[in-house]
Structure 1
Amino acid sequence: MIQLDSVFKFYKTPQHMKVVLDNVSAVFETGWSYGLLGVNGAGKSTTLRLIAGTELPNAGHIRRNVRVSWPLGFGGSFHPQVSGRDNLKFVARIYGEDVRRVVRFVEDFSELGDYLDAPVLTYSSGMIARLAFGLSMAIEFDCYLVDEITGVGDMRFQRRCEDAFAARREKADLIVVSHSMATIKSYCRRGAVLVDGHLMQFDNVDKAIEVYNRLNR
């Protein structure tokens, strides 16, 4: 279970204050996958980062009694001056994983070859995505956070990603952000719609999509 308790999150700019979550209390129950919907700029990605713990709320608390991933494919935490291999070792140690197993998995999965020992700053965006997705699949979580699934690499590699993700989904819940309603309906049974700092939750994903479509006209 993931519980948001009176969570308040805002960003200040010189012109105004953008409220993402306005004292939101909500529960994402274990055993269900949720589609998180909202118009552009509503704060969906920020909400995922808050749930992951990569950002903190300005007020309120987020409680997790399950192992929650970082947003899937998120490579922003890699140290650019350090090699891909050493980045993998660092993350594996943080999560208490077998370092050699994680490195072997990502080395095989990412197909980066000698680049795994090069500094991440020398990587293309596609190579970073391969490293990040491989790491996401190397560590098992109870709940995966997914922010706009996109294809990585050629068709053969994309198929490998889909197969690996399908295997993880059999044993884990998801919270998915996507503008593709087909993706949301394929992965999720429940839904939540973020609008003007408020989070509306629905037991039926079709109802959430209906509300989102009305807002997005």
Structure 2
Amino acid sequence: MGGGTDTTANLFCFVVYYLGHYPEVKQRLQQELDTVLGNDLTKSLTNKQLDELQYCDAVIKEVYRLSPITFIIGRVNTEKDMVGGFNWPEETSFMILYSALMKRKEYWTDPEKFDPDRFYKIDENDKYSLEKTHVKKSFTIFGGGIRICPGRKLAMIELKCLLALIYKKYDLEMADINEPLHYVPGMITFCKDLMIKVKPRKF
């Protein structure tokens, strides 16, 4: 989950869609890219630079929270357990709708709002301090536990590289701001098409 090329490409399309609708977030992302990467467009990215792209990381996570590529996760218990006030025998199959967990008011402040700041430098005085307590249990971009996606680090590297290399050099805008994102829902949500306008950035 999350590490495959198709999943990475689909999540990238969702990121482009959200940035197209929130130009202030795109501007802030590009400011971070300019600060971290500098003005030389020919240099390769380094691991240190990728680690410093913290707002870029926050944008990816917030897009996934609102529009997850995979929205359920399956688990089987190995012994009797109580879940939701009910006793379940061993070897019960559970399907966890974790896309709903990522929008619960008990865990998230203004859960329907798109705001990457909820993942960016959270501290005790932050308006999103609620997430600091619950984010590890209610945010599951790559699953969790011993079956967490083994390709999660590679997936984040791919996404951050794509965003950095493209948004550093180009401005991407929606061809039609009122056009909805066309996607095919399923176990993995696929972006069907996304019409955008690409032009070189002006420095």
**One fold, TM greater than 0.5?**
no
Which one has a larger percent helix, Structure 1 or Structure 2? 2
TM-score (norm 1): 0.26
Which one has a larger percent strand, Structure 1 or Structure 2? 1
TM-score (norm 2): 0.27
